[in-house]
Amino acid sequence: MELKRMSGKHKNNKILYYAVNYLRQLIPKKRYQEKFETKLNSIESLNDEDLEKIIFRVNYYNKLDKTVELASEAKKLSDVSLEKSSKTFFFDLHEYSKYFDQSLKGNFLFGDITHIPRDPSLVKSRPISDNNANSIILKWNKLRHFMFIKNEKKQYSQKKNMLVFRGKVHDITPHRAQFLEKYIDHPMCDIGKVNNKLINPEWNADRMTIDEQLEYKFILCLEGIDVASNLKWVMSSNSLAVMPKPKFETWFMEGRLIPDHHYVLIKDDYSDLETKLEYYINNPDKADAILKNSNDYLIQFQNKQFEDLISLMVLSKYFEKTNQHS
């Protein structure tokens, strides 16, 4: 069953990702920096609707509205190295930081960040909050997180009337353990953990490919340390994402998702799960409406030109608001 971990269907191509990013290391940064103004000026060719959407997203990811000075421990871009960083985080930063003067400084917090830092910092994830301006989001770890289902043939009505979940359970994710304990034997649930086989062995289950999970009407999207990594591909499918209101967000702007509009909301204690599943089984028109809304939400992340432009603008604003010249 471990061979299922190697299934690449619906996933990003790792070989291509690493090949492209290693090749980028060979190109002098000066060549990119010469193109920086041209890249940013492409915003002038956008229509008013696209321009408004892009500016909104830039200011959503980067909420800094006052100039602040970075502390002395801030690193120069030139000091962020592949050898000392997680490869995917480094590559995702470098894809856009290469357009900037390498003497510019920043706080680079790689990994699953669940706190709001003291100083303005670049992160993959942050708590959903009205006071998270010091957490500036970039599209990091996208190899793992930004996968989408394309042209799924099986419709919602053809799928099993059940909820599926396969995931890891750790000491730092007690909410996942709580769900498994509550619903492991429920007839409407096909759920289980895929790690720590000796701990709570009654929760163990074989891994499932994405295609196998897409046989079900409902897919549980429970946050792990930060966000639920399966949420993006689930929302691009013909299965409904089921989850409590998210507590963390990434480039996907999970804080913008509307309960029972983009996903099926369940209570934090999961007590209404069966009621919600039965409702959307018995009201397929309501389920179809959520599926359309969730599929439509994804469109904004699938224009590479816009994603590049927004990423550059978020970084440029970060250097500007930390009293540096980009």
List the CATH number of the domain containing 233.
Answer: 3.40.50.2000
My answer on whether 73 and 102 are in the same domain is yes
Q: Does residue 69 belong to any structural domain of this protein?
A: yes
Give the residue among 194, 238, 195 at the shortest CA–CA distance from 213: 238
Q: Does residue 142 belong to any structural domain of this protein?
A: yes
My answer on whether 210 and 139 are in the same domain is no
- Give me the helix-helix angle, 304-321 and 48-61, nearest 10°: 50
My answer on whether 163 and 282 are in the same domain is yes
pLDDT at 83: 77
Q: Does residue 37 belong to any structural domain of this protein?
A: yes
Q: How far apart are CA 200 and CA 174, in angstroms?
A: 13
My answer on whether 139 and 40 are in the same domain is yes
Q: Domain containing 228: what range?
A: 156-300
Count of domains in the chain?
2
Q: How far apart are CA 124 and CA 136, in angstroms?
A: 8
Structure tokens at 174: 């007690």
My answer on whether 182 and 311 are in the same domain is no
Q: How far apart are CA 220 and CA 206, in angstroms?
A: 16
pLDDT at 1: 44
Do residues 240 and 220 touch, judged by C-beta distance below 8 A?
no
Q: Does residue 161 belong to any structural domain of this protein?
A: yes
My answer on whether 99 and 25 are in the same domain is yes
My answer on whether 27 and 86 are in the same domain is yes
Q: Does residue 225 belong to any structural domain of this protein?
A: yes
My answer on whether 118 and 9 are in the same domain is yes
Q: How far apart are CA 316 and CA 205, in angstroms?
A: 46
Q: Does residue 274 belong to any structural domain of this protein?
A: yes
Q: Does residue 118 belong to any structural domain of this protein?
A: yes
Q: What value, to the nearest 5°, has the Cα angle with vertex 21 and ends 16 and 27?
A: 130
My answer on whether 190 and 211 are in the same domain is yes
My answer on whether 106 and 170 are in the same domain is no
My answer on whether 104 and 193 are in the same domain is no
My answer on whether 38 and 167 are in the same domain is no
List the chain pLDDT tens, one digit each, 326 residues. 455 554 568 889 999 999 999 999 999 999 999 999 999 999 989 999 999 999 999 999 999 999 999 999 999 999 998 877 789 999 999 999 999 999 999 999 999 999 999 999 999 999 999 999 999 999 999 998 999 999 899 999 999 999 999 999 988 899 999 999 999 999 999 999 999 887 888 999 999 999 999 999 999 999 999 999 999 999 999 999 999 999 999 999 999 999 999 999 999 999 999 999 999 999 999 999 999 999 999 999 999 999 999 999 999 999 999 999 75
Residues forming a β-bridge with 122: 108, 136
- Give me the helix-helix angle, 87-97 and 304-321, nearest 10°: 80
What single letter denotes the amino acid at residue 48?
A: D
- DSSP states of 254-271: GGGPPBTTTBEE--TT-T
pTM: 0.93
Q: Does residue 326 belong to any structural domain of this protein?
A: no
- Residue 109's H or E segment, with its range, is strand 108-109
Structure tokens at 4: 């299922």
Do residues 281 and 157 touch, judged by C-beta distance below 8 A?
no
List, in sequence order, the alpha helices (H) in 214-262: 231-235
